[in-house]
Amino acid sequence: MAGIQHSSSMKDVGDALLSFAGQFGTTNILAGIIPPPSASRREQLSHVLLDRWPAEWTDRYFSNGYLYRDPTIRLVAQGSRPFSWRDLGSLGELWPGARRVMDEAAEFGLREGLTFSFLTIERQRVGLSIAGEKLELPPGEQDAFLLVAAYAFGKAVILAEENRQTGSVGLSPRQNDVLQWASLGLSVEAIADRLGISSHTADSHLRAARERLGVQNTVHAVAEAFRLGLIA
């Protein structure tokens, strides 16, 4: 809890929570507010606050509209108690496309997972998932972990709001340009072509943007820039 409390960025919060959850076999974490069904890809991304998911999987997930096929999201939206992905059973038959989402997630090392659902003060529904090749979180530990997870998410919300109000994060015009194009799903090569620069230069601008925003991958950089109003 101390590591989360003293975090100065959302990246720090994610690192602290992942370090804590690692004792249970967790290698990846994702948490965000559940967006409305009409939300665009950009809006869906802007609802993600803690992102330690494989970047390639995140990109595929949001590009293919998996949010609305994902059985974990469906259960979170219904206010389910914490549940193991092992218990999803035959939901693939109940919800079209659900089994495909979970099978593809396993290809990226997200083979076993636990998902927690809770509400913000504003009564917004939040989903937080931890995953890895093999998880060992005893049932008796789930409620305790939920308290830590909710605290971490609350800290991330506070930091995001502070950044938005103070405008403490700024991007150069070129960093803004590359993120604008990345938000539309363009590859580094396609962005370079649009801007008339080399792929190496485009990649350098994306790396610099990620560093300024304190995130680890381009998908999350787009989400954070969108949330902060740096891109539209």
pLDDT tens, residue by residue, 4-14: 888 887 778 88
At 138, phi and psi to the nearest 5?
-55, 145
| Residue 13 shares a structural domain with residue 116 | yes
Question: Is residue 147, in this structure, part of any structural domain at all?
Answer: yes
Split at pLDDT 50, 70, 90, the class of 38 is: confident
| Residue 221 shares a structural domain with residue 145 | no
Pairing status of strand 83-84 against strand 112-119: antiparallel
Split at pLDDT 50, 70, 90, the class of 224 is: confident
**What's the domain count of the chain?**
2
Domain containing residue 113: CATH number: 3.30.450.80
Return the closest-CA partner of residue 30 out of 148, 131, 106, 109: 131
- Residue 146 near residue 31 (C-beta atoms within 8 A): no
| Residue 162 shares a structural domain with residue 177 | no
Whole-number mean pLDDT of the chain? 85
| Residue 150 shares a structural domain with residue 49 | yes
Burial 157-182, CB ≥16 within 10 A → b, else e: bebbeebeeeeebebeebbebbbbbb
Question: Is residue 232, in this structure, part of any structural domain at all?
Answer: no
Residue 129's pLDDT is what?
A: 95
- Is a pLDDT exceeding 80 seen at residue 57? yes
Residue 195's pLDDT is what?
A: 92
- Is a pLDDT exceeding 90 seen at residue 128? yes
SS3 assignment, position 89 = coil
Q: In what order do the strands lie in the sheet with 125-132?
A: 48-51, 28-33, 125-132, 112-119, 83-84
Domain containing residue 191: CATH number: 1.10.10.10
Q: What integer is the mean pLDDT of 147-171?
A: 77
Residue 137's pLDDT is what?
A: 84
pLDDT in tens, 166-204: 555 678 889 989 988 988 888 899 999 999 999 999 999
Of 216 and 208, the one with more pLDDT: 208
- Is a pLDDT exceeding 70 seen at residue 92? no
Residue 90's pLDDT is what?
A: 63
Q: What integer is the mean pLDDT of 105-121?
A: 91
Cα–Cα distance between 215 and 82 in angstroms, integer? 27
Q: Which domain holds residue 206?
A: 173-227
Cα–Cα distance between 127 and 32 in angstroms, integer? 6
Question: Is residue 112, in this structure, part of any structural domain at all?
Answer: yes
Residue 105's pLDDT is what?
A: 95
